[in-house]
C-alpha cells in the first residue's frame, strides 16, 4: 500500500475524535421465524461504542454476529430495543432519515463482498457515492466522487486495477474494493463483517493492516470475527453468546 495521501482514508472530523458515545445499543432483541419455529437470536443486547474505537464482536457461527451488525447499520429492524447514533434512535427517525443514516454515516463491508459483477472496481466504489446523491446532486459531485474513488483504490493498493471487474480480481482484491466502497462517503463508522473470513492468511494480514491504519486515523470500526487472534488487534472485544453480548476483560 502506498504512503501517499495518508490522511484521505477517513473523514476529517474522525481524525481528532472526541471521546463520546457514537452508537448505543439498548436491549436489542431479534427473532426469526422459520418452518414454524421461532429462533430468538438476540436476547437483550446492550453495548456502547465510542467515537474512534475499534471494537471486535466475537462469537461462534450462528451466534448472531451478522444479525447484530445489520441492525447497527440500519439494514434490518429489531423486534425490541434501540440503536442510537449520536444520541438519536435510528429506528425512530422521521421519513427517509434512516436511508441517510445508512448512506452517509455507515460504511458496510459484507461477509461476502457484495460487489456488482457487471461493474468495474472503480464503478463499484463510485456506486456508494452515487446512492447518497440526488440526480442533480450527482452531476455536481461526480467529478469529486470519482477523484476520491480513484484515490481510495490507489490507497488500498488497487490503483492499477480500476477497470477490472470482480471476476478478474482475487478474493483479497475484491475485499479491498469493498473496503474502498465502504469508505467513499467518509462514514462515521465502518461496520465490517468477517473482513478476512474468506481470505488466506497473508491476504488477511494485509486487510488487517489496512483496518489498523484506518483505526490509527481515527475511524470508528465495529468488526465481526470468529478469530481471536484477529480480534486481539482491536481496542475491545465483545462476545456474543446465547443472544447476549459481554465484554471480554482479557486483552
Ligand X SMILES: Nc1ncnc2c1ncn2[C@@H]1O[C@H](COP(=O)(O)OP(=O)(O)OP(=O)(O)O)[C@@H](O)[C@H]1O
Phi (first) and psi of residue 86, to 5 degrees = 55, 35
Is residue 175 within 8 Å of residue 195, measured between CB atoms?
yes
The residue from 64, 81, 187, 204 that contacts ligand X (CB under 6 A) is 64
- What torsion do the CA atoms of 42, 224, 198, 1 make, to the nearest 10 degrees? 160
Report which residue's Cβ sits closest to Mg ion.
Answer: 66
CB of 112 to ligand X, least distance (A): 10
Please, what is the minimum distance in Å from the beta carbon of residue 11 to ligand X?
Answer: 27
Count residues contacting ligand X (CB under 6 A)?
A: 14
What's the grid cell of residue 183?
Answer: 469508505
CA-based Rg of the chain, rounded to a whole angstrom?
18
Min separation Cβ 241 and ligand X, Å: 10
Task: Considering the complex, state which of residue 144 and residue 247 has its C-beta at the smaller distance from ligand X.
Answer: 247
Residue burial 168-191, b: 16+ Cβ < 10 Å; e: rest: ebebbbbbbbbbbbbbbbbbbbbb
Instruction: Find the binder of ligand X among 4, 62, 92, 170 (CB under 6 A).
Output: 62
Confirm or reject binding of residue 41 to ligand X (CB under 6 A).
Answer: yes
Pick from 6, 27, 32, 168: which binds ligand X (CB under 6 A)? 32
Residue 63, interface with ligand X (CB under 6 A)?
yes
Shorter beta-carbon distance to Mg ion: residue 31 or 165: 31
CB atoms within 10 A of CB 33: 8
* Residues in touch with Mg ion (CB under 5 A): 66
Q: And the C-alpha cell for 68?
A: 447484530
Query: Are 164 and 188 a contacting pair, CB within 8 Å?
Result: no
Best CA proximity match to 107, nearest among 38, 6, 195, 42: 195
> Closest separation between CB of residue 234 and Mg ion, Å?
17
H or E segment and range at residue 153: helix 135-155
Q: Which of 65, 148, 161, 181 binds ligand X (CB under 6 A)?
A: 65
State which residue, 32 or 170, has the beta carbon closest to ligand X. Answer: 32
Q: Which residues contact 42 (CB under 8 A, 6 or more apart)?
A: 28, 29, 30, 64, 67, 68, 71, 78, 243
Does 6 sit near ligand X (CB under 6 A)?
A: no
**From candidates 1, 39, 127, 150, binder to ligand X by CB under 6 A:** 39
Identify the residue among 53, 66, 175, 196 touching ligand X (CB under 6 A).
66
Interface residue list for ligand X (CB under 6 A): 32, 34, 39, 41, 59, 61-67, 111, 226
Amino acid at each position: 500500500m502506498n504512503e501517499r495521501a495518508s490522511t484521505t482514508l477517513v473523514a476529517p472530523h474522525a481524525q481528532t475524535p472526541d471521546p463520546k458515545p457514537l452508537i448505543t445499543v439498548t436491549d436489542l432483541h431479534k427473532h426469526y421465524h422459520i418452518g414454524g419455529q421461532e429462533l430468538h437470536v438476540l436476547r437483550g443486547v446492550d453495548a456502547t461504542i465510542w467515537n474512534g474505537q475499534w471494537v471486535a464482536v466475537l462469537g461462534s457461527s450462528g451466534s448472531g454476529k451478522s444479525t447484530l451488525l445489520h441492525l447497527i447499520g440500519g439494514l434490518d429492524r429489531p423486534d425490541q430495543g434501540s440503536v442510537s447514533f449520536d444520541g438519536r434512535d435510528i429506528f425512530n427517525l422521521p421519513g427517509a432519515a434512516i436511508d441517510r443514516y445508512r448512506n452517509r454515516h455507515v460504511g458496510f463491508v459484507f461477509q461476502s463482498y457484495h460487489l456488482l459483477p457487471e461493474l468495474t472496481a472503480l464503478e463499484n466504489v463510485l456506486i456508494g457515492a452515487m446512492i447518497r446523491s440526488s440526480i442533480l446532486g450527482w452531476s455536481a459531485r461526480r467529478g469529486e466522487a470519482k477523484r476520491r474513488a480513484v484515490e481510495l483504490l490507489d490507497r488500498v493498493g488497487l490503483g492499477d486495477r480500476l477497470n477490472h471487474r470482480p471476476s478478474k480480481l482475487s478474493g483479497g482484491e475484491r475485499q479491498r474494493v469493498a473496503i474502498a466502497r465502504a469508505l467513499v462517503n467518509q462514514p462515521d463508522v465502518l461496520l465490517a463483517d468477517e473482513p478476512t473470513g474468506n481470505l488466506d492468511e497473508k491476504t488477511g494480514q494485509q486487510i488487517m493492516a489496512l483496518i489498523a491504519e484506518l483505526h490509527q486515523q481515527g475511524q470508528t470500526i465495529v468488526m465481526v470475527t470468529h478469530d481471536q487472534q484477529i480480534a486481539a488487534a482491536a481496542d475491545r472485544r465483545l462476545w456474543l453468546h446465547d443472544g447476549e453480548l459481554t465484554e471480554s476483560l482479557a486483552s
